[in-house]
Structure 1
Amino acid sequence: MTNPKIITSVTSQLKLYTLLSQLKLPKSYLGKIMLVAFIGTHIPLLSLFFYAITVTSLTTDTKIKVLVVALIATLVGTGITLFTLQKLLIPITLTAKSLRQYLETNKIPQLPTKFKDEAGVLMADTQYSIGKLDELIQQLKNYDSLTALPNRLLFHRQLQQLISELPHYQNTLAIMLVDLDGFQNINNIFGHESGDFVLRHVSQKLSQHITKRDILARVSSDEFALVHSVTSVEGLNRPLAKLNTR
């Protein structure tokens, strides 16, 4: 639940930003900061200009010289300030672009994580958060939430990968389907919690009898698929015997 006090506090801190965001030009965040910096660096020049033209004790030549020196110094200072600000704002603009790119293309950015100031922490936290978010999305997309086994989608990809590698090995792939007879009756009589327990128990038992090169997946509500690599048909006897044990 959102805390109104926190919202009010955040809103009060964004008053100046809210005001500047209403400007039609410049539209970008960088442009607004540049505008503020430009105005700030020219206030001394304008002050000196009005002071010089109102003081009568100075000759016209002196006033012109003072204004020229002040103008040159101000322009140089403005250029240095705007250039430096643009470079200092790169972490913010880079972070914003990386977030947008991930939302549009699902491409994980490579933001630096070694800097310790606020901008550096922003980049590091963004990189970490996107990485964790992508892991969660991939987990939800490719794995069964109940058994943590690969789902049908990932199973198909893994199977295609194994098939493409077959020419490099002298093995044969055996695909076995394990169907739980009467599983629907367990859900109807004892409830879905009991059915979930059975599925987790079966997945754990099956996982104990596979090798690293095997693929075990839950491909439907009550069906598991196992891909086992064998050198001969007789090689199926051992894994089948293990699957038949309780």
Structure 2
Amino acid sequence: MTRILDSIDSPEQLRKLTVPEMEVLAEEIRREIIEKVSVKGGHLAPNLGAVELTMALHYVFNTPEDQLVWDIGHQAYVHKLLTGRRDRFHTMRQFGGLSGYLRRDESEYDVFGASHASTSISAALGIAVARDLQGKDFNVVAIIGDGALTGGMALEAINNAGSMKRNLIIVLNDNDKSISDNVGALNTYLNKARQMQTTPSYRRLREMAKGSLERLPVVGGMARETAGRVETGMKQVVLHSKSGTVFEELGLKFFG
């Protein structure tokens, strides 16, 4: 039986799939990763947890024109499978084969190679600044996990990004997983925010507010703005923050 994965040579083919086909593709990708990592070794869990995320990013953004900057790169196996390297995937981490991380000389889709944590936001901000200086127009997206977000370089980059006001998107893969247990004040804050959004009481309150707004004779942008203010207000109460989240206090717009 022919797999959908075998027909994907670039994100362009991915964007032509239906939602049911993408669900099948996600399962095929997981099986491919498990099969190859079981034989060759590598990072299993980080990639199994980033399948739908990676597919969504390549589906929504016009890569490689829009540039994805992955933190570390160990979770980029799905990215490699979707960007023309499926036939060589079995050579990963072998002499003369594909790198286990990202390499700019391996693919135009590999924007930044690091293999070290906490570098993605800084690199993405630099790319965004260079883009603006050259008068170009494309999206720059940094993808970082909650563990790497606690690193000093990531915090320094957020500090700069909040003041420079560039068109930069940061995707936080907040899966509460790392090479070891996350520690520190920021981790405690993220745990609190995560728990807030998963508690039944918060979700019920959010749905009640959404339902009430839908019944009001308000349409378009005004309704969306009101809904956003209601949710921000709930975050302010729970997280004891004037603007909703610590990221918004630092000048970033936060969704989630």
TM-score, L = length of structure 1: 0.21
Task: Point out the structure with max Rg over C-alpha.
Answer: 1
How high is the TM-score relative to the length of structure 2?
0.21
Per residue, is there more helix in 1 or in 2?
A: 1
